[in-house]
Amino acid sequence: MKIKENISLKDFNSFGIEAIAKFFTIISSTEQAQEISESLIIEKNNSLVMGGGSNILFTRNFDGLVIKNEISGIELTNETDDFVFIKCGAGVIWHELVLFCIERNYCGIENLALIPGCVGASPIQNIGAYGVEVKDVIHAVEAVPFFDSKIISFSNNDCHFGYRESVFKNKYKNQFIITSVTYKLKKNPVFNISYGAIPQELERMGVKDLTIKGIALAVINIRNSKLPNPKIIGNAGSFFKNPEISIAQYEELKIKFPSIVGYPTDKSNVKIAAGWLIEQSGWKGFREGDVGCHEKQALVLVNFGKATGADIYKLSERIIESVFQQFQIRLEREVNIY
């Protein structure tokens, strides 16, 4: 394991932002995670573990150690009549795990097809899409704490999952190297096509009999038609979280803005589509220099080429302010800012 100095992170983040890491290393085994955790180069609040860099905005150079996690391996560790347990290295590309499961008819993550990034980040913000959240299939997360070499196992409950949230995004932010995640997947498929766009796409595709593969293909088609490919236009997916507001505030807003889009949550709140709020505030398709708001999905901020992280951050501030002025709802960033 080599520690390099002054490494450009441009090719390691999906926004394509230029930022220099003072120190940089790649780990490809749990032993290396343990070794680096115990080494003196780890600094408190100044070390960052990265997977695919698809949920990160660098607003400045990183004056510490960046650890790129490339721990590989997908292993079936247990099986019952109804479930399989798949232990997966944190550096495995998330979509490769989805493809592995589709091929074997293991059910539970097909709706999460094509989400960029690595397995190790999947518990961090409890990735979710098209009516499914990964928390419903995470059995355990193994991680090595900074400054120590013992492996800690977190159960699903220990992770305190919430909507795009977990203990790793809050209390334990930047304190652990996640080395593996074990998923508990169903052998007998239970399909989730509650999300309107999926049945529409399945119909368009002419699919009569539902399969795991069919659902994943529908999701892939929808995503490809709507979301910018980071290899072509720099972005980190949804920049903001969908805000949750009280039913009373929702009812008030509905009178003023009858087309407002809201979904009831299990906490008796209403989840508002942040993309709709941003679009109504006039930002969809906005471009100034090399920063912008995507023309098909206002929730996605983009780097057309030479934008800096600070430029993108400034645009996000302007959006937050203008949405607040119009709707009295303060958007929160979903992307991790460094």
Task: Kindly list the catalytic residues.
Answer: 164, 238, 334
Stretch of 9-17, 192-200, 202-210, 310-318 contacting ligand NAP, by CB under 6 A: 192-200
Residue (133 or 142) nearer to ligand NAP, CB: 133
Strand duo 270-272 + 138-145: pairing: unpaired
Q: Strand, coil or helix: what is 126?
A: coil
105 Ramachandran zone, left/alpha/beta (phi>0; psi -120 to 50): left
Contacted by 226, from ligand FAD, ligand NAP, none: CB < 5 to 8 Å by type? ligand NAP
Residue (39 or 192) nearer to ligand NAP, CB: 192
Element at 92 (helix H, strand E): none
DSSP codes, 97-125: HHHHHHHHT-BSSGGGTT--SBGGGTTTT
Strand duo 62-69 + 47-50: pairing: parallel
The answer to whether 126 and 165 are in contact (CB under 8 A) is yes
Question: Which residues from 147-186 bind ligand FAD, rule CB under 6 A?
Answer: 176-178
Residue (76 or 337) nearer to ligand FAD, CB: 337
Residue 290: φ, ψ to 5°: -105, 10
Contact status: 315 vs ligand FAD (CB under 6 A): no
Contact status: 47 vs ligand FAD (CB under 6 A): no
Contact status: 25 vs ligand FAD (CB under 6 A): no
Residues that bind ligand FAD (CB under 6 A): 14, 48-56, 69, 90, 115-118, 120-122, 124-125, 127-129, 176-178, 227, 230, 235-237, 336
Residues that bind ligand NAP (CB under 6 A): 128-130, 194-197, 226-227, 237-238, 242, 263, 273, 275, 297, 299, 334
